[in-house]
Structure 1
Amino acid sequence: MQTASTNICERLCSKSIHEISLLLNIPQSTVSGILTKWKKLGTTATQPQSGRPLKMIDRSQRMLKRTVRRSC
């Protein structure tokens, strides 16, 4: 049994970037970027960004900071 992604791939595998762009009505740069990502990483999922991760402050800490600021 073929899945939807297999069916789409079979239809688009032999097409050029321009033809895929016209068929899907999306920019050629988007098609090119997706194909490059697929060839390089083997996936189109969003990858984690480099750099320092954002510190997540939980709700109780925010409430405490707000209370301290108001009382000062």
Structure 2
Amino acid sequence: MQTASTNICERMGRSQELSDSKRGPVIGCHLCNKSIHDISWQLNIPRPTVSGIITKWKQLGTTATQPPSEQGQRMLKHTVRRSQQLSAESIAKDPQI
């Protein structure tokens, strides 16, 4: 028997990504002029996810997973804050400092 907390944990799949085979039908339905609500209900995908897939497709022309763009910038800022006495050239040559 599942408890309420187990059930909630199973529904909270934030770290899981939608496969390409599930993103394609979202775009197909969108091109057939279906609403986000209808796509969400038909494919059993949350509305924010459907909206995000469509927005990404409109902006980038792809639904493929993209690497996080700000991760490198955050690492560099952290490195600079941690070792402010180093020169920019030495940080650029060896970001693992």
TM-score, length-normalised on structure 2?
0.42
> 1:16-40 CA distances to partner (integer Å, 9 max, x unpaired)?
0000000001110000000000000
State the SS of the aligned residue for 1:20.
Answer: helix
- Unmatched tracts of structure 2, length 5 or more: 1-23, 76-97
Output the amino acid matched with 1:27: P
| Aligned Cα root-mean-square deviation (Å) | 2.5
Tell which has more relative contact order, 1 or 2 (C-alpha 8 A, sep 6+): 2
Pair 1:40-2:59 in alignment: yes
Superposition pairs for residues 1-72 of structure 1, below 5 Å? 9=28, 12=29, 13-50=32-69, 51-52=71-72
TM-score, length-normalised on structure 1?
0.55
Question: Which of structures 1 and 2 has the bigger CA Rg?
Answer: 1
> 1:39-70 CA distances to partner (integer Å, 9 max, x unpaired)?
00000111122233x9xxxxxxxxxxxxxxxx
The size of the alignment, in residue pairs, is: 47
List 4+ stretches of structure 1 deviating above 4 A: none
Q: Give identity over the alignment, percent.
A: 65
